[in-house]
Structures are given as C-alpha cells and as structure tokens.
Structure 1
Amino acid sequence: MNTISYGKKEIGYELQFSDRKTLGIAVYPDMNVVVTAPENVSKEKIQEKVKSKARWILKQLRTFEKYQPLSKPKDYVSGETHLYLGRQYVLKVEKAVDNQVKLKGKYLRVKTRNKKNAEELLYDWYRFKAQIHFNSILEDLLPEFEKHDLKIKELNIRKMNTRWGSCTPGGVITLNLHLIKAPKRCIEYVILHELCHLIHHKHDAAFYRLLNSKMPHWKRWKEKLEITLA
C-alpha cells in the first residue's frame, strides 16, 4: 500500500501499472483508492498526481463512508425492531427459567432469566444463524467457480465497522456478522465479491468482468445492502 500526506490526512492507495497512456485514479465504494499508471511513470510523479487530486479523493471517501455498515445502538428492550434476513421483527424480551431466542410470527422473542442478558443472547443467536446461512450460501456458489479450483480454507464471521467482507490469498474469507440482517441476495453478492477476489485480488477490469458474469445485477443488491443496513 502506497500513501501520501495531505494536511493532517493520510491517503492510502493501491498502485497498478498498465499500457495506458494516462494516469487514472478511482475511488471505490469499499473505500479502496486505486491508481493506474503507465509503466514508464516515476513514483514521484505518481505521488504528485495523487496529491493534486487529494481533495477530490477525500470527498469521494467521505461520500462512501456514509454507506459503510455501522451498527446502530440498540437498547435490547421489548418494542424495538431488529432485522433478520431483510425483514423487520419486533423484539419481545420475556423473563423465563431458560434462555431462548426464536422467531414467532412478526416477533423475535428472547426468553431469559435476566433481561440484561438480552443483547448477549441475541448476538449468539445471530452468530449461530449466520454460520448456517453463510456456509450454505457459500456451498451453493462454489460450483460456479469449479474451473478456478478455489480452495476455501476457512469462513470466519465477526463484527466489522467498515467492511462487509474480506479475504486472504490463502483462502480465508471473513464476513461481517451484520450481513445476517440483510436479504439473502445481498449476502450472496458479498460472498461472490470475495470469491472473485480470490481469483483477481485487485479491483481491476478483470475482477469486475468476473463479478458481472456471476451476478449481472450486483449493483442493485449492493445498493439494497447499503440502504438496509446503513
């Protein structure tokens, strides 16, 4: 990762070289800044160009930052609404002998010996459901990548503040726990995005060609995801 300083801000960017004749800068919704430069351009000239566009880059990053997945604070009390697979459910926290979380009609019912434990119980329930659904969707999508012989080492689930998902070249995929609140097609989009990254590590033309071939309307589901969980 390359960086330049602009005032008190530091801008990181990914540098790619190609046979293009001009230097281009792109800012993507996942907060990645990609600079594509001709092979013969010096690093000093590239940094100079990025610095000249710093104000524009920061403006784009601020715009996309508004749509990053951030967990809105909840009190975990009866009457609140909570999302699950794209649908809103009314939370009902009830005192009971045994701890239990289950869906019943339009209600997400949390039974607990101590109502202060509602948040922890709901977190564990979301994680349990996420493991089931994310693994199932991943298994359904993998046959589409059969010719690429992808090796998935591990699927991790955790809370993330600025990303829906990430992956490593070694085949470890990490997904944001909050995705379990989104519609299934939105989850499919994020998993497809990461599977495409295991083949094309950069956000280049080849990456987007592959993503388009697997999910032609991915932009619709990306937007739906951002609106649902913004």
Structure 2
Amino acid sequence: RRKAGWVKERLDWFEQMSQLAVDREYVSGETFLYLGRQYRLKIVYGSKRSPVKLRGKFFEVNLSQSMPEQDRREAVRRAMWRWYRAHAWEKIRKIVEHYSARLGIEPPEFRIKYQAKRWGSCSQGSVLNINLRIIMAPLSQIEYVVAHELCHLKYKDHSAAFWDLLRLVMPNYEVRKENLRRSGWQYLL
C-alpha cells in the first residue's frame, strides 16, 4: 500500500510511452519538438533552399520533386536528424561553456549521440555524452542534463557531495530534474 502511488505513476508513464512508441512517419502535419516548443512538419518540393528550415511554427523540409515516393520518408528523416544534431551541438556547446565556468573547470569534450535510455553520461576519459533527443526539451531541462554530467567530472557517483555540487551551480535542479522525468517520454525522433 505504501508504494501504490508510485506504482500508479509508473503505470501511467508506461501507458503514455506505449501510445507514443509508434514509428515516426516523417510526413507533413506531424509534430516535432525543439527547445520545448511544438512545430509541424511541412514538406515542400523543388525549392533550392537549405534542406531543413525552421519557419514560424513549421519545420520546412525541402525535397526534390523528382525524388521517388518510396525514398521520401528516409530523406526527411535524415534531413531532420542532421538539423537536430547541428542545432544541438551549438546550443549544448554554449551550455557546457557556461556551467564549466561556474564549476571552475575547462569545458570538456562532448559528443552528441542518440541514446534510448540515458539523457547523458560521463565516460572514464571525462568525455560527456549527451543524448540528441534532449534538444527537443525546454532549455531548463537541457541545462540540467549538462550540469549534471559536468558535476560527474568531479564526483563519479551520486553521493551527497555530488548533489551538493549540483545544487551549488543550479539551486533549482530538483524542479528541472522532475520536469524532465515527467515530460521526457515525448522527446522522440
């Protein structure tokens, strides 16, 4: 009985996940997130502009009109992933620099990669691995993940000293962590 609330919360979370565990179609009208905001995918044909452009409330993806129908989904998927990776790199670089300065350390090397289960990790060689999907989250959640991983450069575990250090550089980290826990299920590429 003591854990009934926790069990219900977990079951609700899994229900939300199962509803979203559908493959993306990469078609016009589909919704994608970027920095916590929703954008609709709009496929345009024949334009010479860049492959993906954020325009108003739309992700515009340019495809050649001569592209065979069966190749379009994969072309849109690749273009979106490249766009997300490029924009994630720039945003995360700035956040790494900011929180490294707050911790009094040199900004470490970092990599952006797709991870199914982790938002970030810190390797034995002090390289940060940040999940590409985090770029879909609001900036406050991205900052939490980066600051969390940077604190692992000083403390490799989740000891009291680790959490004290994180609290020092991000006093409201608990709120950000909880927001990520509650909304992370929707950050799907």
TM-score by length of 1: 0.66
1:87-137 per-position Cα deviation (integer Å, ceiling 9, x unaligned) = 000110122254510111111111112333111100110001011111111
What pairs up with 1:57-206 in 2 under 5 angstroms? 63=10, 66=14, 73-98=23-48, 100-113=51-64, 114=67, 115-116=72-73, 117-146=75-104, 149-150=105-106, 152=108, 154-206=109-161
Tell me the percent identity: 38
Which ranges of 4 or more aligned residues in structure 1 deviate by more than 3 Å? 62-68
Corresponding pairs, count? 168
Cα distance 1:122–1:71, how it changes in 2: closer, same or farther (>3 A)? farther
Gaps of 5+ in 1: 1-55
**TM-score normalised per structure 2:** 0.79
Structure 2 portions without partners, runs of 5+: none
Partner of 1:24: none
Q: 2:96 touches 2:107 (CA, 8 Å); kept in 1? A: no
For the residues of structure 2 that align with 1:75 and 1:166, how far apart are their CA atoms? Answer: 29
CA positional deviation for 1:71? 7.2
Q: Please list, as runs of the form range in 1=range in 2, the aligned pairs for 1:2-21 lying within 5 A after superposition.
A: none
What is the alpha-carbon distance in structure 1 between the residues aligned to residue 100 and residue 107 of structure 2?
10
* Structure with greater helix percent: 2
How does 1:205-224 map onto structure 2 within 5 Å? 205-224=160-179
CA distance in 2, matches of 1:150, 1:225: 27
Aligned partner of 1:48 in structure 2 is none
SS in 2 for 1:90: strand
Distance of aligned partners of 1:110 and 1:81 in 2 relative to their CA distance in 1, 3 Å threshold: same
Q: 1:169, 1:198 within 8 Å by CA — same for their partners in 2?
A: no
